[in-house]
């Protein structure tokens, strides 16, 4: 075993089952390991490196800021933070943005906004936040409580109370039944459950839920940590659904590789969090935000149309292929149910120089949004070959 792997295994907490691959360099959608072997990257660090490795525009934006002011804390003004917040608000219709450093923190902020809005408006006994079964919202104790998958909860009890999980069905009966006995403060959904297996939430259900929340003055938050920032071929996945949420949380791709999360607050909740109600030392860091600005500025209609086209290409190329049972997702967020176990398929692809992800029983892809067609074709061809063997 190499020195790097051995040291890592000895000293880094054993929370990750790493592939036996040591990445030493990358450019665009290609990466090289310590032995000089080339890989096509179809995972982009779990949807983070939105424009690939060592992307020149992003690197320039980040280093320019790095060479001026790298951090001030939130006691002072810096330019990138407000600039990114303005872009996000203008492009979503949200009114204010709280910046943090991860998806879990963005969801924590959403939960605090929901709780405070409901406490002030409906009283302190209205606090329950409803999420969907099979959802994923993060690893902190509160976002774990929000996550609707029991296996993440075992041995970490007690989690934060005040959460309930409903089936992402086609009607609202379960939610309405729950509302008879429980005061509901807010609902958090993913439009596509990423960690849950790249499952697209039913549009009729989402629309009915949005209408219900509006009528009942229940805060609707959408978790766009994975689906956001162009991933589905729209700027945010909820835009595929024709709804207007009250809160939008995001992270992953917005940072392009640096830790950056955002909780966007819509009209109803825009002023709920006041001085001292929430905070983060690193949140809104100027370097991360400068990178975020460069990413958002490139996510224009042309880029988003290309994301949709490339996603269509992948779906077409895999539909009906030998060893492929189904293909799910939107844009460049794609899940492939393979006849062989997904883990086996991904391992075989690593051997052949393509890095895919898994999500539950599926092979998952979240390539860079600007992945060149030749990389995409090569990766899909290798996946087809492996699936057919």
Ligand X SMILES: *Cc1c(COP(=O)(O)O)cnc(C)c1O
In order of 11, 14, 18, 298, 381, the CA distances from 5 in angstroms are 10, 12, 10, 37, 30
Task: Rank residues 52 and 223 by Cβ distance to ligand X and give the closer one.
Answer: 223
- Give CA–CA dist 363/216, Å, rounded: 39
Nearest-approach distance from CB 180 to ligand X, in angstroms: 29
- List the x/- string, 51-90, binding to ligand X by CB under 6 A: ----------------------------------------
The footprint of ligand X on this chain (CB under 6 A) covers a number of residues equal to 15
User: What is the gyration radius of the CA atoms in the chain, in angstroms?
Assistant: 21
Burial class (CB in 10 A: 0-12, 13-18, 19+), 215: exposed
Of the residues 81, 146, 188, 225, which one makes contact with ligand X according to CB under 6 A = 225
Site for ligand X, residues 87 to 106, rule: CB under 6 A? 102-104
- Read off the tokens for 73: 């804390």
Q: How far is the CB of 44 from ligand X (least distance, A)?
A: 13
Coil/strand/helix, residue 55: coil
Query: At its nearest, how many Å lie between ligand X and the CB of residue 81?
Result: 19
- The residue (of 227 and 375) whose beta carbon lies closer to ligand X is 227
Give the footprint of ligand X on residues 240-299 (CB under 6 A): 251-252
Q: Which residue is nearest to ligand X (CB)?
A: 103
Q: State which residue, 192 or 346, has the beta carbon closest to ligand X.
A: 192
Taking the complex as a whole, how short is the minimal distance between the CB of residue 386 and ligand X, in angstroms? 25
Q: What is the DSSP letter of 279?
A: -
Among positions 173-192, residues that touch ligand X (CB under 6 A) are: 190
Q: Which is nearer to ligand X, 111 or 382 (CB)?
A: 111
For residue 162, give both structure tokens: 């005040």
Preceding amide of 158 cis, omega within 30: yes
Structure tokens, 220 = 């609707």
Nearer to ligand X, 168 or 251 (CB): 251
CB of 252 or CB of 298, closer to ligand X? 252
Total length of the chain:
389
CB of 80 to ligand X, least distance (A): 20
Q: Which is nearer to ligand X, 65 or 250 (CB)?
A: 250
Using CA atoms, how far apart are residues 77 and 67, in angstroms rounded to an integer? 17
Q: Binders of ligand X among 113-152, rule CB under 6 A?
A: 136-138
Q: State whether the Cα torsion 305-311-315-317 is positive or negative.
A: positive
Distance CA 205, CA 220 (A): 13
Based on the shown chain and the rule CB under 6 A, indicate whether residue 43 belongs to the binding site for ligand X.
no
As measured in angstroms, the least distance from the Cβ of 248 to ligand X is 12
229 binds ligand X (CB under 6 A): no
Q: In this structure, are residues 278 and 112 in contact, taking their beta carbons and an 8 Å threshold?
A: yes
Pick 251 or 299: Cβ nearer ligand X: 251
Q: Which residues pair with 234 in a beta bridge?
A: none
Using the rule CB under 6 A, give the single segment among 177-185, 218-226, 276-284, 298-306 that binds ligand X: 218-226
Q: State the virtual CA torsion across 50, 51, 53, 57 in degrees, nearest 10.
A: -130
- Strand ranges (E), 258-366: 261-265, 324-330, 333-338, 354-355, 357-359, 362-365
Residues near ligand X (CB under 6 A) = 102-104, 107, 136-138, 190, 194-195, 223, 225-226, 251-252
């Amino acid at each position: 075993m190499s020195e790097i792997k051995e040291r890592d295994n000895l000293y880094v907490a054993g929370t990750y089952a790493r592939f036996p691959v040591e990445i030493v360099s990358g450019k665009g959608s290609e990466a090289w390991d310590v032995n000089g072997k080339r890989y096509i990257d179809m995972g982009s660090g779990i949807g983070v490196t939105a424009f690939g490795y060592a992307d020149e525009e992003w690197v320039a934006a980040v280093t320019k800021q790095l060479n001026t002011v790298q951090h001030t804390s939130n006691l002072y003004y810096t330019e990138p933070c407000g600039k990114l917040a303005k872009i996000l608000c203008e492009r979503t219709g949200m009114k204010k943005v709280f910046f943090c450093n991860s998806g879990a923190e963005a969801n924590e902020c959403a939960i605090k906004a929901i709780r405070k809005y409901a406490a002030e408006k409906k009283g302190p006994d209205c606090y329950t936040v409803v999420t969907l079964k099979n959802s994923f919202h993060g690893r902190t104790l509160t976002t774990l409580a929000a996550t609707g998958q029991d296996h993440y909860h075992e041995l970490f009890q007690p989690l934060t109370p005040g959460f309930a999980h409903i089936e992402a069905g086609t009607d609202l009966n379960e939610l309405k039944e729950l509302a008879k006995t429980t005061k509901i403060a807010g609902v958090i959904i993913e439009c596509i459950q990423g960690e849950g297996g790249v499952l697209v939430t039913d549009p009729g259900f989402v629309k009915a839920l949005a209408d219900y929340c509006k009528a009942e003055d229940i805060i609707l938050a959408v978790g766009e940590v994975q689906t956001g920032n162009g991933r589905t071929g729209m700027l945010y996945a909820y835009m595929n659904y024709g709804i207007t949420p009250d809160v939008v949380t995001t992270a992953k791709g917005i940072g392009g590789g640096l830790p950056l999360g955002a909780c966007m607050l819509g009209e109803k909740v825009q002023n709920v969090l006041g001085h001292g109600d929430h905070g983060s030392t690193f949140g809104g860091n100027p370097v991360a935000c400068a990178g975020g600005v460069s990413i958002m500025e490139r996510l224009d209609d042309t880029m988003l149309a290309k994301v949709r086209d490339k996603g269509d290409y992948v779906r077409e190329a895999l539909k009906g292929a030998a060893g492929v049972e189904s293909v799910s997702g939107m844009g460049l967020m794609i899940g492939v149910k393979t006849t062989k176990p997904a883990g086996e398929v991904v391992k075989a692809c690593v051997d052949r120089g393509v890095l895919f992800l898994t999500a539950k029983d599926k092979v998952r892809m979240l390539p860079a949004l600007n992945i060149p067609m030749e990389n995409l074709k090569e990766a899909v061809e290798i996946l087809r070959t492996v699936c057919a063997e």
